[in-house]
Structure 1
Amino acid sequence: MAKSLKMRNKNIVITFMSLLLVFSTFSGFAQTPEEKLIKNVQEALKSSSSRELVKYLHERVEIKLDNEKKDYSTNQAEIVLKQFFQKNPADSTEFIHEGNSDGGIIYAIGSYVSRNKKYRVVLRAKKYKADYKIYRLEFTEDR
């Protein structure tokens, strides 16, 4: 009897682990490329990582910090974003609205909160070759 119960418990554990593996595999496939981009950007912002964030930028990107808008190469953008993150390290960040247009442009709107200030963040991206890349990134201070 004890051996039968032990075998049954082992089968339950194996079944549970198999189901867990199946669901975790499918959940990774459920994300669209657009959702992955926004999730990855949000993680880069949370960690105030310019190095991580530039992975998702197009080779030419427009960055707006408050009311100053400029075009940058990815190398220049990394420097500008690094300086911004050093002055304003993230306490939290969250995208609250995401969408796409008929023209293939995706966007996300959210907040970036540092200990000093709160910013409204807007990103716009479109597909370049096989990947979505950000071509415009805006940080506007909430007043």
Structure 2
Amino acid sequence: MKGIRLNALLISTLLSLQIFRVFGQTDVIGQVKETIKAGSAKELSKYLYQNVDVTIEGNIQSYSKTQAEFVFRDFFKQHPPSEFDIIHQGSSKGGQPFAIGQYKSGADVYRVFMKIKATSNQQLLQEISFSKE
């Protein structure tokens, strides 16, 4: 009887942790979605890992969080958002969260790919790319 209770407790704890992880992932993706939708590089930088890989129209660079803010400020200025939606999110086989979105600016449409890095107390963007469709 004790074995069954212990197993039930273990299973419920693991399920709780998984639910927490999914909601945490959804939360950071939702927050990033809103900052991109608003075209706010300053707010977006709050969700960037200390070093982030940024790809804009095929130009791949690794930036510090501060440098990336300037890159996004210029991008949003040149391509102001008219719409941004998350179209898919999930985790890799290794468990790394990601999201794919669609960014619209005037007649231009970009596919946005975001890879999330889980740190000890939060989830931050480790990689983000804007590829023109």
TM-score, normalized by the shorter chain, greater than 0.5: yes
Q: Does 1:39 align with 2:27?
A: no
1:117 Cα deviation after fit? 1.1
User: Unmatched 5+ residue regions in structure 1?
Assistant: 1-28
- The one-letter code sitting in structure 2 at the alignment partner of 1:75 is T
The match for 1:138 is 129
Match of 2:81 among 78, 82, 90: 90
1:116 Cα deviation after fit? 4.1
1:38 Cα deviation after fit? 0.6
Cα RMSD of the aligned pairs, angstroms, is 1.3
What does 1:1-143 correspond to in 2, within 5 Å? 32-142=23-133
Greater C-alpha radius of gyration: 1
1:102 Cα deviation after fit? 3.9
1:126 Cα deviation after fit? 1.7
* 4+ long deviations beyond 3 Å: none
Instruction: Provide Cα deviations, 1:50-86, integer angstroms capped at 9, x if missing partner.
Output: 0110111100000000111000001000000000000
Contact kept? 1:65, 1:140, Cα under 8 Å: yes
Q: What SS does the aligned partner of 2:87 have?
A: strand
Instruction: Provide Cα deviations, 1:6-30, integer angstroms capped at 9, x if missing partner.
Output: xxxxxxxxxxxxxxxxxxxxxxx9x
User: Separation in 2 of the partners of 1:94 and 1:46?
Assistant: 8
TM-score, length-normalised on structure 1?
A: 0.76
Contact kept? 1:112, 1:119, Cα under 8 Å: yes
